Structure 1
Amino acid sequence: MMTLEELKQYALLHVKTHSFTAIDPLDVLNSIDAPSCEESTKGAWDQQWVSAAEKCLREKAVDDAIQCLNFARFPFPHTKQQEKASKQLTDVFEETYGRQDVRKYTLERNGRTFSVYTSNLRSNLPCLLVLGGIVSVKEQWKVFLEVGKRLGFSVIITECPGVGENSGIYDAASYKMLGQILDSFSLKVNVNHTFIVGMSFGGHLAIKQALEDDRIKGITTVGAPLHSFFKEYSDIDVPFLTQTTLAHVMGKNLGDVADTLSSFALSQAELRALHIPLTYVFSRKDEIIPVREKEFLLENGQNIRLYEFDDVHGSPNHLDMIQKIVPLSVLKQSESKKFIIRLGLALMLTLNKWKKRGGKR
């Protein structure tokens, strides 16, 4: 069972990724004294975040409410309250942003459905495909629906199998889902020039698909597992929260995860065969991705741009820099002619580096 300490540690790292206006998230955390419970219980993780979301909705702070509901269902729905929060999150998102240029499509793979949100679909624009890892719902990446349009891309955001509205099973062939997405939008978007931003496990899926899909021209990832994580899973001190989430998305018992994961690993030959630009953000204190992944990347990568931070998984304490690195990487990889935006991002990134002295490239 996931401990309350683990849940709160995650939340403390990630509340800073959203500027709350209607509530103080620390007050919510301090009001929680139990993990999520099957029965609606005051003081439980899911109940307190749902209550906070309801307050945000009353005050018309929709983005705050979505973030609270995201915390409520974290890391995946395993109580009725969490399932309800997950559905409400999607409903609120669609009701709010579906009125704008955001459209939702539901696709099917192996008899299971998954959904994507899109914006700015134009046949003459390159495609920006975004997905998170095994805990990130697609609604978390809303900013790309807005920013991608300004950067000159048609944007598609989705989620890993087993996450959010993706009812698929996470397995060694899950990366093929990305190719199916590109096939589905080939008449609406210039998928022959696709750039992927894949966070964590989503980055691994992107690399696997790119090895057999020349429509993908560049990948940007933050903390993607590559080889060692999958091959040495049993020997790595992986947080229990990650272990149980992997078991959930894979549809397996905890004890059966390690043997299956070995087949997910990228080989040296595969990474050496990847010649498209790959921007990788590595965290030195990553509690999930072993340091050997950086060595594997540098020894075998062919076209690598590495950023490294003294931080935990996802480098949440360097979010201000990552918010510049990611769009700048996509613009460079696509050889975008939006030179003013590129220059502005580069200058802001340099300023952030000068202030923190924490990142290096």
Structure 2
Amino acid sequence: MSNDVAELKQYVLAHVSAQNASADGVLARIDDDGDGPRSWTTQWIRAGEEREQAGDLLAATTFYNLARFPFVDSPGRAEALRRCVAVFDRWRRTVPGIERLELRLPGGVVRAWAAGLSTTERRPVLLMTGGIVSIKEQWAPILPELARYGFAAVVTELPGVGENELRYDLDSAALFGVLLDAVAERADTSRAYALALSFSGHLALRAAPSEPRLRGIVTAGAPVAAFFTDKEWQAAVPRVTVDTLARLTQTTPATVFDHVRNWALTPQDLAGVRIPVAYVASGRDEIIPPADPALLRTHVRDFRTITHDDVHGSPAHFPHTRLWTLAQVLEMSGADPRHRAAVDGALAQVEGGRA
């Protein structure tokens, strides 16, 4: 079953914005989600090849990533993911300090990119994860910056996404502890923070009460409870979200919401989150119901939030979101005041400031 191309074009925009890319020219050449010359994967791969041949490896990585969006369901998308990872690997070899991690677990292999790990200078850990449609190569270019801010930073994927072979299920919150165990000899894992975007924010909130090494969570557009239980809201959730969630949970679009209904976090669960939580909400979010950030506001004792007048992912506000989430991480971790001042200063220059 092919994806709805109009919906793909709509929901890819937040990811284009997050990667500082331009998509208009490519999107105009796409007519379908098959394997023909004007298909989604063909056109994005062609754009990636052009950037790769020009030597712009990060741009090529971005376009190969968009070719496999929203998930791998065909040979074309599998090839796009392979190229995306390979070209990013070429790029990171030109940037000192980024390394590849592989964790072989009973449920499959988890792969990650990391920077700032050291046996002699054990830094606090920042774990960064995306949602159900974003892979680690989308976020990993920020690793050198995070290392400059004093973190041992690890970027990986939600189970079932990209190169993460684990199944996405109710136990997936254990991923944070597994990652911390893996870097324990080269980082100060007693001081760990999660920059867990979208659906991985839900996992971080679930993990927090039983994972004492987590000292703070920063998220954006994360489901909490109503997304999993509100049948009326679920009826209007975009098809791309439903199809992707079904794929990752190994269910079907018709049964996926029944499958995840018991994933909702309760007020009692949230009362057990005794660490700071920062949340970016979108006022016109068509995926995450407003009841979800409202529940956090009521039941998480240290909660701070901003709301953009935007759709899911707030693509028109990405510069502000990027700086605000980074400022929250730096504040929670007690980072060098000079770094905090620099980020705060940049944030003040962005429309909306610290609102």
Pairwise same-fold verdict (TM > 0.5): yes
Show structure 1 runs of 5+ residues with no match. none
Q: Is the contact between residue 109 and residue 177 of structure 1 (CA under 8 Å) also seen in structure 2?
A: no
Pairing 1:250-261 to 2, within 5 Å after superposition: 250-261=249-260
Pairing 1:94-133 to 2, within 5 Å after superposition: 94-99=89-94, 100-123=96-119, 124-133=122-131
- Give the deviation of 1:108 after TM superposition: 2.8
Matched, 1:42 2:37: yes
Q: Is the contact between residue 69 and residue 86 of structure 1 (CA under 8 Å) also seen in structure 2?
A: yes
Aligned to 2:300: 301
Q: What is the letter of the counterpart of residue 45 of structure 2?
A: V
Q: Is the contact between residue 122 and residue 190 of structure 1 (CA under 8 Å) also seen in structure 2?
A: no
> Aligned with 2:163: secondary structure?
coil
* Higher alpha-carbon deviation: 163-172 or 233-242: 233-242
The change in CA–CA distance for 1:301 and 1:19 in structure 2 (over 3 A counts) is closer
Q: Is the contact between residue 132 and residue 159 of structure 1 (CA under 8 Å) also seen in structure 2?
A: yes
Aligned to 2:78: 83
Q: Flag the structure with more relative contact order, 1 or 2, with Cα contacts below 8 A and sequence separation at least 6.
A: 2
Q: Is the contact between residue 74 and residue 135 of structure 1 (CA under 8 Å) also seen in structure 2?
A: yes
Give, in whole Å, the separation in 2 of the partners of 1:113 and 1:178: 15
Q: Is the contact between residue 58 and residue 91 of structure 2 (CA under 8 Å) also seen in structure 1?
A: no
- Give the deviation of 1:222 after TM superposition: 0.6
How many residue pairs were aligned?
Answer: 350
Give, in whole Å, the separation in 1 of the partners of 2:115 and 2:225: 34
**Over residues 184-225 of structure 1, what are the superposed CA-to-partner deviations in whole Å (9 max), with x where a residue is unaligned?**
111111111001100001111111111101000011001111
Pairing 1:193-204 to 2, within 5 Å after superposition: 193-204=191-202
Q: Is the contact between residue 19 and residue 138 of structure 2 (CA under 8 Å) also seen in structure 1?
A: no
Pairing 1:1-361 to 2, within 5 Å after superposition: 1-20=2-21, 25-35=23-33, 37=34, 40-99=35-94, 100-123=96-119, 124-233=122-231, 235-236=233-234, 237-336=236-335, 338-352=336-350, 355-356=351-352, 360=355
TM-score (norm 1): 0.93
Give, in whole Å, the separation in 1 of the partners of 2:169 and 2:17: 32
- Give the deviation of 1:19 after TM superposition: 3.7
Q: Is the contact between residue 46 and residue 81 of structure 1 (CA under 8 Å) also seen in structure 2?
A: yes
Q: What is the letter of the counterpart of residue 54 of structure 1?
A: E
Moved over 6 A (4+): none
Q: Is the contact between residue 123 and residue 152 of structure 2 (CA under 8 Å) also seen in structure 1?
A: yes
